[in-house]
Amino acid sequence: MHRIVSATVHPALRLILLALALCLSVTANAEEPDVRTTWRLLDYIAVDYASAVSEGRVADEFEYREMVEFSDVVARQIAAFPDTKDNQALIRRSDQLRALIANKEPAERVGRFARALAASLLTAYPVPLAPSQAPDLVRARTLFAQNCASCHGAAGSAPPAAMQALDPPPIDFTDIDRARQRSAFGLYQVITQGLEGTSMASFASLSDEDRWALAFYAGSIALEDMAKGERIWREDDGIRQLVPDLETLAALTPESLAEEIGEDRALAVMAYLRANPDAVGQANDAGSLAFVRDTLDRSLSAYQAGNREEARQLALSAYLDGFEPLEALLATRDGGLMREVEQALGQFRAGIESGADPSELQQLRARIDTLLARAEGALAPEAASEISTFLGAFTILLREGIEALLVVIAMIAFVKKSRRFEVLPYVHGGWIAALLAGVATWVVATYFVSISGASREMTEGIGALLAAVILVSVGIWMHGKSQAEEWRRYIQEKMGKALSRGSAWFLFSLAFVVVYREAFETILFYAALWNPQSSGIILAGALSAVALLALIAWAMLRYSRKLPITQFFRYSAILIAILAVILAGKGVGAFQEAGVLTATFIAGLPRLAELGFFPTVETIVAQLLTLLALIAGFHSGRHSPKSAPAR
């Protein structure tokens, strides 16, 4: 593509070349190229008419004559197309377009009419409108440098001096006024067919994929603020419904999208989508409320048809692949609503598992739809504020951090009271390694693989249950060593022997498991919350939480030094026991959300995720069993002969 140039060559030469092109195609199946040529002429009229006519008068005689002749060619070509049920209507509308141009009607009206006629033309005589897969924009940059930069400049904005004297000069791709009116399909047409009467040759020798990639890249150069566009695209389900597939995106102009969502938002969204066309497929596949609705409808249909297993899988996908990726962001905007949606989706799955009457599921589906409508409002960009973003970033890290901090501080205080300072590096190594593993997880999830909703829930569930089992044993052990002050020497002696047998690595593992689980969950929340425009506010919230966590850690360590060892063990055992019960509930709850365990809901009970309490029989039983194990362990430890002090 040496040059994409303005359609302002001599009209007579233009018509001669068009006629020649038509004659050359007579012996072949000419319908598709003729349709594309006609569509391209209509696109030119829509874009260039504004420079020909202004306020009902001819602004540029040369341009105006070109518009008149183009409209004549369009009318003749449409009249020559095979007769269909739509052909006569297209002929009438092409005559109306000629009349609009002859009467020098306003550019906005002519442009809108020309685009509508072009769309109707493709409906009546379909031709491929979109690439078979999302274009490769990385390769497009290389192609542009090799084929286009010599005429359009490396950045697409400033033609080299040798090219500026050409008539017409090469297009400035940074011209936002032109870019607003061009679709990727229109650019693809020019790249494929070239421009008659100019040095813009056809690049049909390039593969179809490469031509589409160049079209999307050239159409993205003038558009800026991709970060804002990405945020709007991810948060606004309504906009994603406006651009459901690549075909829609390829035919869409920023100007036409602006009529639906406003100028600023349209330019930002088109900047993002032209540079990241694969986002369209992703939006329809997962992480959207539209996906939740569609998948639930399919699940309900499958259930009504008697396909219970298919219905179960679809209902699970609606949560894991549709709602779960949005859960963290919604939690920062409206935590109560997030919990309502999550619980309703769980009840829908439970209804399928239990064989509920289809009418009950229909009622629940209607309730979910109402909740999703509220969620759309909460997730809309205008619903965000700096305060809500700051508080979301602050509370997420503070909540998850405290849970890990309590265990790690108890371990550090325990080691210090036992005067086994050489073991401290193992404890510190455990939580530091967990943080590094968390960062590595973020890098892998962001740049290499996508962590599915099921994988997220399984990781959280396994981590929670593993930590709960370890904490139960540690809590029982600590409680058994809290009976009398005179046991201090016994504890220190036994501690030394235990560590010599490798229990230092046990402390490392405990610190790692507890901290990594919380780090993993925190990373998921921040990944959902993050966008470049509010990065400063998010970082401020995170740093504020880190500062408060550091203050809490300092206070806990200082207070623990003043506690008598028996009280320290007693309080630590109680604290660890509480955490074990919480994690047991969270672990089972995560497995339920991943679809590994069934969920039997109990009506009327609240959902307290922070305490690991979910209104299901399974999570309550898990917490009760953990509590009973702790009580039994505490009781047996108190009366165990091994707990007696050494004499």
Give me the mean pLDDT over the 6-18 stretch: 39
**Is the peptide bond preceding residue 168 cis, with omega within 30 degrees of 0?**
yes
Q: Give which of 482, 552, 501, 507 is closest to 415, Cα–Cα.
A: 507
Specify the pLDDT at position 294: 81
pLDDT digits (tens, 9 = 90+) for 218-240: 888 888 888 888 888 877 767 87
Amino acid 370 reads: T
* C-alpha span between 72 and 94 (Å, rounded): 8
**DSSP one-letter string for 250-311:** HH--HHHHHHHH-HHHHHHHHHHHHH-THHHHHHHHSSSHHHHHHHHHHHHHHHHTT-HHHH
Which tokens in the block code for residue 381? 């960009």
- At 380 the three-state DSSP class reads coil
* C-alpha span between 640 and 647 (Å, rounded): 16
- At 220 the three-state DSSP class reads helix
End-to-end, the C-alpha distance of the chain in Å comes to 92
Which tokens in the block code for residue 523? 């990373």
Which tokens in the block code for residue 604? 């009327």
Q: Which residue has the higher pLDDT, 134 or 549?
A: 549
Give me the mean pLDDT over the 435-442 stretch: 83
pLDDT digits (tens, 9 = 90+) for 478-502: 665 555 444 455 445 544 444 554 6
pLDDT digits (tens, 9 = 90+) for 318-329: 887 778 777 777
* C-alpha span between 532 and 507 (Å, rounded): 38
Specify the pLDDT at position 284: 44
Contacts of 194 (CB under 8 A, 6+ apart): 200, 201, 202, 203
Specify the pLDDT at position 31: 41
Where do the structural domains in the chain lie, given as residue ranges? 11-124, 223-284, 289-383, 386-643
- Contact present, 610 and 399 (Cβ < 8 Å): yes
The strand pair at 57-58 and 53-54 is best described as antiparallel
- Contact present, 371 and 338 (Cβ < 8 Å): no
**DSSP one-letter string for 139-208:** HHHHHHHHHTHHHH-TTSSS--HHHHTSSSPBP-TT-HHHHTT--HHHHHHHHHH--TTSS----TTS-H
How far are the Cα atoms of 234, 248, 283, 289, 525 from residue 241, in angstroms, in the given order?
12, 10, 9, 10, 25
CATH code linked to domain 386-643: 1.20.1250
**DSSP one-letter string for 105-144:** --HHHHHHHHHHHHHHHHHHS----S-SS---HHHHHHHH
Contacts of 183 (CB under 8 A, 6+ apart): 43, 219, 250, 251, 252, 253
| pTM (whole model) above 0.75 | no
- At 54 the three-state DSSP class reads strand
Q: How many CB atoms lie within 10 A of CB 511?
A: 24
Length of the chain as a residue count:
647
pLDDT digits (tens, 9 = 90+) for 175-204: 788 788 888 888 887 787 666 655 666 777
Give bridge partners of residue 54 from the DSSP assignment. 57
Specify the pLDDT at position 20: 37
* C-alpha span between 7 and 68 (Å, rounded): 13
Give me the mean pLDDT over the 64-75 stretch: 88
Q: Which residue has the higher pLDDT, 65 or 125?
A: 65
Residue 170 backbone phi and psi in degrees, to 5: -60, 150
Q: How many CB atoms lie within 10 A of CB 73?
A: 18
Place of tokens 């009970």: 605
Average per-residue pLDDT in the chain? 76
Contacts of 207 (CB under 8 A, 6+ apart): none
